[in-house]
């Protein structure tokens, strides 16, 4: 499932788990400056199902200009 982050907080719930996504999303802020998954710095654009299957958090700091995030 793909989602455009157009609101500061989005939550997905399954029967027992909640995934909460926070971001400073605006129409201009379309580039990822930094990301944390379950409190850990995340520098890759890949996310495995196992990383979030039990619920958790994704926190993104977005930017209105291109960044080097995910290029390493």
Task: Name the residue range of residue 23's domain.
Answer: 9-63
Residues of the chain with pLDDT > 70, as a percent, come to 79
Task: For residue 60, give the nearest of 14, 15, 3, 16 by alpha carbon.
Answer: 3
Establish if 4 belongs to a structural domain: no
Residue 24 pLDDT exceeds 60: yes
Q: How many folded domains does the chain comprise?
A: 1
Q: Is residue 1 part of a domain?
A: no
The predicted pLDDT at position 32 comes to 93
Q: How confident is the model at residue 58 (pLDDT cuts 50, 70, 90)?
A: very high
- Whole-angstrom distance, CA of residue 10 vs CA of residue 6: 9
Residue 19 in this model has a pLDDT that exceeds 90? no
Give which of 54, 51, 70 is closest to 62, Cα–Cα.
70
Distance of alpha carbon 41 from alpha carbon 26, whole angstroms: 22
- pLDDT band at residue 12 under the 50/70/90 scheme: low
Does residue 71 form part of some domain?
A: no
pLDDT of res. 36: 96
In this prediction, residues 3-19 reach a mean pLDDT of: 60
């Amino acid at each position: 499932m793909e989602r455009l982050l157009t609101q500061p907080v989005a939550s997905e719930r399954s029967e027992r788990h909640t995934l909460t996504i926070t971001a400073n999303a605006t129409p201009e802020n379309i580039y990822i400056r930094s990301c944390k998954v379950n409190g850990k710095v995340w520098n890759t654009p890949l996310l495995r199902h196992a990383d979030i299957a039990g619920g958790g958090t994704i926190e993104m700091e977005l930017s209105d200009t291109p960044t080097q995030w995910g290029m390493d």
